[in-house]
């Protein structure tokens, strides 16, 4: 069979053979890199296996496929590998920096990746836009397929898109939902107990139901959807998370090979410190957006369930709920991945900033720390966005010990705070230091007279190693931990600038708008500033350290930058 062309007589035996072989490929992938969202990919495997065979591809009016639930891309890749469209050796290099294949739908040069996806809730809007484009072009036979997950339907943007599709009568739009019953923090029925199929039907969609592992039934439903007059169709297909692997079936697990938890972890420090602080402060409440486990916010929830709230995958709602709790006299800690919290930036500005509410925004998995999920999950612009907001403090601890020092002061601080931390990688930068954290201060880690390196987060570990190596070369290099980006001790920054005349800023952030930009603004005319940051939207990798090297934030790159600055004077 040639993939990508409509076949009126599909060979179901062949489909099942490919499915079984693709499942074996997925299991090999899980061994090679246990971040491939194995459970969800196995649930969606049959749907994708059938869908890509009934699509009419090619030309301006060919069918298009939006994999909105981007983390099941490995299911697609495994099928393409079985069919010989992706070399199996290349697939096994998934997420290596040189590889074209990542754990999410990131590379549009690969077959059937018609949009880069991974940030949930955005695919249906893209599908609406493509369906409108086909209507304008006069494409009568081209269809837009969007594959979503049931947890993804928590996102409000999905429903905005769904209403738009009804308004314009997009009968060339077919949304398929893999209903496996699980999302990050547990069963979908416990997180947002809503019959989403009835919501689609109520706003005007044609709604169909079926078994996402029955090829004959799915084929009949797709044919019926293509004949829907004047309205879009949503097909709800029941699937089994981890289908075909007993250890995973009907569980929230995503891998058979969970990596060992690191000895030191920023998110572990966050969860444990929050739980401890809750003992002495009954006004402290925690709200999360379906990431209680992956941010360790659940530690607080296990101790204080009456003060712990999970709003599901709905970050704008997260911010609004936090604002209301603050208005009600509580100290809300709203926790989400940094990238997804930025989805609520306008709510942060208008609901929290303008009212100067006492909300603590905790953004985890920031910078390059979510190496496994890739660019869609790597917040590299968040500091710049938050710096523009007048009255919001920005705190970015160096390591797990800094998280433990900073969090009590953040809770005591009267006013909104944005706390930015990574995932797990937390080399011991401040472990042996004894100082009291104060918002606004920066702290010397190493003294130096020839050049100073400033930064925040785990990249400071490389800065310290670089400074020690520079000492051996006869260059006195200082290092400053800048855990508070805003407000900052401006007088101290200027004194340092006058003293050394050369400053390198290292940060897991865009070189535009972050700490480097702030320092450059403060010391203009006093010192030369070199910013080492992440220029681009991020990249996939197999570790945070690997990505730091990839972007020139490793020890050697910092040494090279320092030598160039010193030797030009």
The predicted-structure confidence for 368-386, as pLDDT tens digits, reads as follows 999 999 999 999 999 999 9
β-partners of residue 418 are 361, 394
Q: Report, as ranges of residue numbers, the positions in the chain whose pLDDT lies below 70.
A: 1-9, 569
CATH 3.40.50.720 fits 443-567, yes or no: no
DSSP assigned state of 417:
E
Burial class, 204, CB count within 10 angstroms (exposed 0-12 / middle 13-18 / buried 19+): middle
The answer to whether 73 touches 108, Cβ cutoff 8 Å, is no
Q: Which helix (H) or strand (E) holds 553?
A: none
Which residue stretches of 92-208 are H helix?
A: 123-137, 156-167, 188-191, 196-202
- What residue ranges do the domains of the chain occupy? 12-238, 266-420, 443-567
pLDDT tens, residue by residue, 320-339: 999 999 999 999 999 999 99
Element (H, E) at 472: helix 460-472
Question: E strands along 490-544, which residues?
Answer: 502-506, 528-532
Handedness of CA 224, 226, 232, 238 (dihedral sign): positive
Report pLDDT for 155. 96
Q: What is the pLDDT of residues 133-143, one digit of tens each?
A: 999 999 999 99
Considering the entire predicted model, what is its pTM? 0.95
Q: What is the homologous superfamily of the domain 12-238 according to CATH?
A: Thiamin diphosphate (ThDP)-binding fold, Pyr/PP domains (3.40.50.970)
Is the omega angle on the peptide bond into residue 487 within 30 degrees of 0, that is, cis? Answer: yes
Rounded to the nearest 5°, which phi and psi values hold at 84? Answer: 80, 15
Give the closest residue to 458 by CA, choosing from 260, 269, 259, 257.
269
Q: Which residues of 469-494 are buried (b: 16+ CB within 10 A; e: fewer)?
A: bbeeeebbbbbbbbbbbbebeeeebe
Locus of tokens 């009804």:
166
Strands 477-481 and 451-455, by their bridges, are parallel
Q: What is the helix (H) or strand (E) element at residue 203, kind and residue range? A: none
Alpha-carbon gap, residue 428 to 437, rounded angstroms: 17
CB-based contacts of 81: which residues, under 8 Å, 6+ apart? 22, 25, 87, 88, 91
Which pLDDT score, from 0 to 100, does residue 527 have?
A: 97
Phi, psi (5° rounding) for residue 36?
Answer: -90, 15
DSSP secondary structure of 214-262: -HHHHHHHHHHHTT--SS-EEEEEE--TTTT-TTTTTSS---SSPPPPP
Please tell me the predicted confidence (pLDDT) of residue 2.
40
First to last CA, the chain: 67
At residue 508, the 3 state secondary structure works out as coil
Helix axes of 555-567 and 460-472: crossing angle, nearest 10 degrees: 50
Query: What local confidence, expressed as pLDDT, does residue 263 receive?
Result: 86
Q: What is the pLDDT of residue 222?
A: 97
266-420 with 443-567: one CATH topology? yes
d(CA 321, CA 311): 9
Helices (H), 379-457: 382-387, 400-412
State how far the Cα of 425 lies from the Cα of 263, in Å rounded to an integer: 9
Quote the CA–CA distance of 55 and 7 in Å, as a whole number: 9
Query: To the nearest whole number, what is the mean pLDDT of the chain?
Result: 96
Characterise 237 by phi-psi region: left (phi > 0), alpha (psi -120 to 50), beta (else).
beta
> What local confidence, expressed as pLDDT, does residue 4 receive?
43
- Architecture per CATH, domain 266-420, reads as 3-Layer(aba) Sandwich (3.40)
């Amino acid at each position: 069979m040639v993939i990508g062309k409509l076949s009126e007589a599909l060979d179901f035996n062949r489909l099942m053979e490919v499915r079984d072989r693709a499942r074996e490929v997925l299991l090999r992938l899980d061994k090679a890199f246990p971040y491939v969202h194995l459970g969800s990919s196995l649930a969606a495997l049959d749907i994708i296996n059938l869908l890509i065979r009934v699509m009419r591809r090619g030309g301006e009016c060919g069918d298009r496929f939006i994999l909105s639930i981007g983390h099941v891309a490995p299911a697609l890749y495994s099928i393409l590998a079985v069919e010989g469209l992706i070399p199996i050796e290349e697939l096994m290099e998934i997420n290596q920096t040189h590889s074209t294949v990542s754990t999410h739908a990131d590379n549009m040069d690969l077959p059937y990746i018609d949009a880069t996806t991974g940030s949930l809730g955005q695919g249906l809007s893209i599908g609406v836009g493509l369906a409108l484009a086909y209507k304008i072009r006069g494409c009568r036979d081209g269809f837009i397929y969007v594959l979503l997950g049931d947890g993804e339907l928590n996102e409000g943007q999905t429903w905005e898109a769904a209403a738009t599709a009804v308004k314009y009568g997009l009968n060339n739009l077919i949304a398929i939902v893999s209903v496996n019953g699980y999302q990050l923090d547990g069963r979908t029925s416990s997180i947002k107990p809503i019959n989403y199929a009835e919501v689609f039907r109520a706003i005007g969609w044609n709604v169909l139901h079926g078994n996402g592992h029955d090829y004959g039934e799915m084929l009949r439903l797709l044919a019926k959807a293509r004949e829907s007059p004047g309205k879009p169709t949503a097909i709800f297909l029941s699937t089994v998370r981890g289908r075909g692997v007993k250890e995973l079936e009907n569980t929230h697990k995503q891998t058979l090979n969970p990596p060992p938890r690191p000895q030191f972890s920023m998110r572990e420090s966050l969860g444990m410190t929050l739980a401890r602080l809750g003992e002495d402060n009954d006004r402290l409440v925690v709200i999360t957006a379906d990431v209680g486990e992956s941010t360790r916010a659940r530690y607080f929830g296990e101790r204080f369930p009456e003060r712990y709230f999970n709003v599901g995958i709905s970050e704008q709602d997260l911010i609004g709920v936090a604002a209301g709790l603050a208005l009600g006299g509580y100290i809300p800690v709203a926790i989400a991945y940094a990238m997804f919290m930025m989805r609520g930036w306008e709510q942060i500005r208008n609901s929290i900033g303008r009212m100067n509410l006492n909300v603590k925004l905790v953004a985890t998995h920031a910078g390059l720390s979510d190496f496994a999920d890739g660019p869609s999950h790597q917040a590299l612009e968040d500091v710049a966005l938050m710096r523009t907001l007048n009255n919001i403090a920005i705190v970015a601890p160096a390591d797990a010990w800094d998280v433990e020092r900073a969090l009590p002061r953040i809770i005591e601080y009267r006013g909104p705070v944005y706390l930015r931390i990574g995932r797990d990688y937390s080399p011991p930068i401040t472990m042996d230091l004894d100082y009291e954290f104060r918002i606004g201060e920066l702290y010397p880690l190493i003294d130096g007279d020839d050049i100073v390196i400033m930064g925040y987060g785990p990249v400071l570990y490389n800065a310290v190693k670089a400074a020690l190596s520079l000492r051996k070369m006869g260059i006195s290099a200082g290092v400053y931990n800048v855990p508070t980006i805003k407000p900052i001790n401006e007088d101290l920054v200027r004194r340092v600038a006058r003293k050394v005349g050369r400053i390198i800023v290292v940060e897991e952030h865009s070189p535009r708008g972050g700490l480097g930009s702030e320092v450059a603004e403060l010391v203009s005319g006093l010192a030369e500033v070199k910013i080492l940051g992440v220029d681009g939207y991020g990249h996939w990798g197999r570790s945070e350290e690997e990505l730091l090297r990839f972007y020139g934030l490793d020890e050697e790159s910092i040494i090279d930058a320092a030598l160039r600055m010193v030797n030009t004077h």
